[in-house]
Amino acid sequence: MEPHAKLYLLSDEDEGLFGDGKWRLLMAVREHGSIQEAARELGRGYRKAWGDIKSAEEAFGRAIVRKTRGGSSGGATELTEFGVQLLDAWEKFRSEVSSCMNEAFEEYLKPIIGGIDDER
> Do 30 and 37 meet the contact criterion of CB atoms below 8 Å apart?
no
The answer to whether residue 61 forms part of the interface with DNA (CB under 7 A) is: no
**Torsion angle in degrees (nearest 10) through CA of 93, 12, 58, 76:** 20
Query: Smallest distance, Å, CB 111 to DNA?
Result: 28
Q: Which is nearer to a copy of itself, 20 or 68 (CB)?
A: 20
The answer to whether residue 62 forms part of the interface with a copy of itself (CB under 8 A) is: yes
Question: Hey, which residues between 2 and 21 contact DNA (CB under 7 A)?
Answer: 21
Q: Which is nearer to a copy of itself, 20 or 74 (CB)?
A: 20
CA 111 from centre of chain? 32
Q: Which of 29, 13, 3 is nearest to 107 (CA)?
A: 3
Distance of alpha carbon 120 from alpha carbon 47, whole angstroms = 39
What sign for the dihedral angle of Cα 23, 58, 39, 79? negative
Question: Hey, which residues between 19 and 58 contact a copy of itself (CB under 8 A)?
Answer: none
Q: Which residues bind a copy of itself (CB under 8 A)?
A: 1-12, 17, 59-62, 82, 85-86, 89-90, 92-93, 96-97, 100-101, 104-105, 107-109, 111-113, 116, 118-119
Q: For binding to DNA (CB under 7 A), which residues are involved?
A: 21, 34-37, 43-48, 50-51, 54, 67-77
